[in-house]
């Protein structure tokens, strides 16, 4: 079975999982539950589950390329840029104390990131960009960096709120895209990987964008419902993750 078939199966499995994730809240963060077994420190869990994404894709790429002076290396650099922030910088900045996550959630995310890292490492190593449409490349880069900026700015907003209030206490975030959606950090990540898929134009990056949608949309819907359930004055015109739509 070739890699394209395996990647299509990977995409199809995510599509089948999507309705399940809509119904079941992933039990970490504000949705933490003791019913999911052994728990670990949330910062340690976050770093461990994201680390394969930071390492496996670039390592695979480096080991399978004799010439690193190609546009593919720019693409892998964008990957590293995102995941260095998500794996190292972000968990060290968040202000949580005593929060934990189920070990099974961290393990599931770790397995996902191993598979996703291998798939994208393969496609970024084996796709030859001999004829590049620079208009599409520019469009993809603009979309990618727009998403990255939205993601980081939204994280900064949430981290800033934690600095002003008691740790592990939640308040309604306002300002910027928070005026329109509950989870602009997730929206930014969706935009990032859409841009990445446009830039790289391969099945691996498309599968990652689809899986990002499958993972983040249910999470955003859960966050949105949680806000509405816990704050009677929560703005009624806000959507969950996509302004005006969802």
* pLDDT > 70? residue 26: no
Whole-angstrom Cα distance, residue 72 to residue 209? 18
Average pLDDT over residues 220-238: 91
What are the CA-CA distances from residue 182 to residues 95, 147, 161, 188 (Å)? Answer: 20, 16, 14, 12
* pLDDT > 80? residue 244: yes
Please give the full DSSP string across 105-155, using - where no structure is assigned.
HHHHHHHHHHHHHHHHHHHHHH---SS--HHHHHHHHHHHHHHHHHHHHHH
Instruction: Read off the pLDDT of residues 155-198 as tens digits, 9 standing for 90 and up.
Output: 998 888 775 665 557 788 888 899 999 999 999 999 999 999 99
CB 221 within 8 A of CB 178: no
Q: Is 5 exposed, middle or buried (0-12, 13-18, 19+ CB in 10 A)?
A: exposed
The CA-to-CA distance between both ends of the chain, in Å, stands at 37
Instruction: Read off the pLDDT of residues 118-156 as tens digits, 9 standing for 90 and up.
Output: 999 999 999 888 788 889 999 999 999 999 999 999 999
Q: Is 41 helix (H, G, I), strand (E, B) or coil?
A: strand
pTM value is 0.90
Instruction: Read off the pLDDT of residues 166-178 as tens digits, 9 standing for 90 and up.
Output: 555 778 888 889 9
């Amino acid at each position: 079975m070739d890699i394209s078939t395996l990647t299509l199966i990977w995409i199809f499995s995510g599509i089948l999982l999507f309705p399940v994730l809509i119904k079941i809240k992933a039990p970490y963060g504000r949705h933490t539950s003791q019913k999911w077994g052994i728990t670990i420190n949330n910062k340690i869990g976050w770093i461990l589950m994201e680390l394969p994404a930071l390492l496996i894709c670039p390592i695979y790429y480096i080991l399978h390329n004799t010439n690193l002076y190609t546009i593919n290396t720019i693409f892998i650099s964008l990957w590293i840029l995102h995941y260095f922030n998500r794996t190292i910088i972000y968990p060290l900045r968040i202000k949580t104390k005593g929060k934990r996550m189920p070990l099974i959630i961290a393990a599931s995310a770790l397995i996902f990131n191993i598979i996703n890292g291998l798939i994208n490492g393969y496609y970024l190593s084996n796709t030859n960009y001999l004829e590049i449409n620079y208009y599409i490349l520019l469009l993809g880069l603009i979309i990618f960096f727009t998403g990255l900026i939205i993601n980081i700015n939204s994280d900064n907003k949430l981290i800033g709120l934690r600095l002003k209030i008691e740790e592990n206490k939640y308040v309604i975030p306002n300002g910027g895209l928070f005026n329109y959606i509950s989870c602009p950090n997730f929206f930014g990540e969706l935009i990032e990987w859409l841009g990445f898929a446009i830039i790289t134009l391969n099945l691996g990056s498309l599968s990652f964008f689809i899986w990002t949608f499958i993972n983040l949309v249910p999470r955003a819907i859960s966050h949105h419902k949680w806000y509405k359930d816990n704050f009677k004055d929560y703005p009624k015109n806000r959507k969950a993750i996509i302004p005006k739509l969802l």
